Structures are given as C-alpha cells and as structure tokens.
Amino acid sequence: MIRALRIAGVTALILLLWHLLVLATGLPAFILPSPARVATALFSNLELIAHHASVTMAEVMIGLLLGALLGVVTAISLAMSPMARLVVRPMMVLSQALPVFALAPVLTLWLGYGLWPKIIMALLIIYFPVTSAFFDGLMQTPHGMLDLAKVMQARPWLIMRHIRIPAAIPALASGLRLAAVYAPIGAIIGEWVGASQGLGYLMLLANGRAKIDLMFAALIVLAVLTLVLHGSVDRLCRYVVQRQNS
C-alpha cells in the first residue's frame, strides 16, 4: 500500500512539473503537448494503442523467455567446461563490441517485417547480462560446499544441479531484473527500423503525421508496460529467492 502511494505521488509530481513546464515556456503542442492533451489522445485512441501494445509485449515476452533460457544454458555450459570458457567467453565479449542496434537493419533484411526480427533484437540485448550474471553466480559457489561434495564423490552434474545452481539463483535473479528493463528496448528499436505494428511503429507514424500527443501517449504506455514487467519479474525473483533460502 505504501509503495503504491509512493508511486502515485511520484507520478503526480512528474505530471505537475510537466504541466508547469508547458505553461512557463509556452511551447506549442507539436513540440511538447500538455499532459491533458496526451491523456485525451490516449483515451481517444485507446483501442489502437492497445492493439500495438499487445504486439510489442508479445515480442518482448518471447524475446525475454528465449533470451533468459539461452543465457541460463550458456552460463551452465561455461561453468562446467573449461574449454567452453576458453572458446565462448571471448566470442561473447567480442559480440558486445558490435552495437546490437546496428544489427536491426540486417535482421529486418533477412527476416522481414514480422515479429522475429524484434524478438531476436530483444534476445540479443538481454542474453549477455543474463549469461554474465548467472555465470558469475555459478563460479562463486562457497568452496566448503564444493569440497564436501567432492569428498562424497558426487558427479559434476549432480554438484551443478544440487549445489551450484541453487547457490547462484540470486545472481540469476539480478540478471533477469536487468533483462526485464532491456528487452523492450530491443523490441522498440526493431520496430523503428522496420515494422507494420507495435508501439515503436505507432510512435514513428504519429511523429510523421505531427500527432505528437499520440506519440507521447504511446511512449507513456510503453513506460508503464516496462515498469509492470520489471515489477512482475522482480516479484517472481523475490519469491524464488526467498523459497530457495527457506
């Protein structure tokens, strides 16, 4: 309840400052519309925005799930295999030297204007944070637990399953929280490069038609959806970590 009141208070303060800025500067609506104009555009185009928002969220959720799964598998493989660390880790670091945003036109050229280029963009953006965070957690397992398992002659996979993975759950949770924020960025950039649906496409379309209030409305909806996604992932991670600790 207190958290909800805090969020409502911050939101009201931002809207008030926004309104005061418009009044003080006298900026025209095609540069900075007032909160009232944006709210009117939002409710007037609610069905349109909801349709494009559903497309964007589908891209984000699929990309988030696939990226998290791929990151988990990669981190476990790296933790278990010194050869994989020798070969794959430099490739992962090298891949981060190339801006992922630069791949969006290439993916659109190869895969067209459907969902998959945006899904892959979201996947690529969250893959490295999830893999890196989970791998660090797997490599920081308390040595006492590992020594005890070796004394009991436990197999490497059993050590990974029953000791190293449970101990690394908090690190994985941190990576997933970051992924929940980054995934919408990849989807939106993919929509900006080439799409016929989605909030990114709607923002470009509204900007091209000088409907800045509609563009702001789509942007606000995107921000709200990102906050909801992050809050949901954070709550799920807290539940899993607390259950693991208990």
pLDDT digits (tens, 9 = 90+) for 188-227: 999 998 888 999 999 999 998 989 999 999 999 999 999 9
Q: What is the pLDDT of residues 76-85, one digit of tens each?
A: 999 998 888 8
Give the dihedral sign, CA 65/123/178/56: negative
CB contact at 8 A, 133 and 174: yes
3-state secondary structure string across 215-234: HHHHHHHHHHHHHHHHHHHH
Q: What is the pLDDT of residues 9-47, one digit of tens each?
A: 888 888 889 989 888 888 888 888 999 999 999 999 999
Work out the percent of the chain whose per-residue pLDDT is above 70.
Answer: 99
**Alpha-carbon distance 61 to 172, whole Å?**
17
Residue whose tokens read 């709200």: 224
**Alpha-carbon distance 44 to 235, whole Å?**
33
**Alpha-carbon distance 132 to 52, whole Å?**
32
Work out the percent of the chain whose per-residue pLDDT is above 90.
Answer: 57
Select from 181, 159, 172 the least CA-distant residue to 240. Answer: 172
CA distances to 43, 67, 173, 233, 237 from 244, rounded to whole Å, are 43, 23, 12, 16, 10
CB contact at 8 A, 192 and 233: no
Average pLDDT over residues 181-186: 94
CA distances to 53, 66, 76, 128, 174 from 59, rounded to whole Å, are 10, 11, 26, 18, 22
**Alpha-carbon distance 169 to 14, whole Å?**
36
Q: What is the pLDDT of residues 84-107, one digit of tens each?
A: 888 888 888 777 777 777 888 888
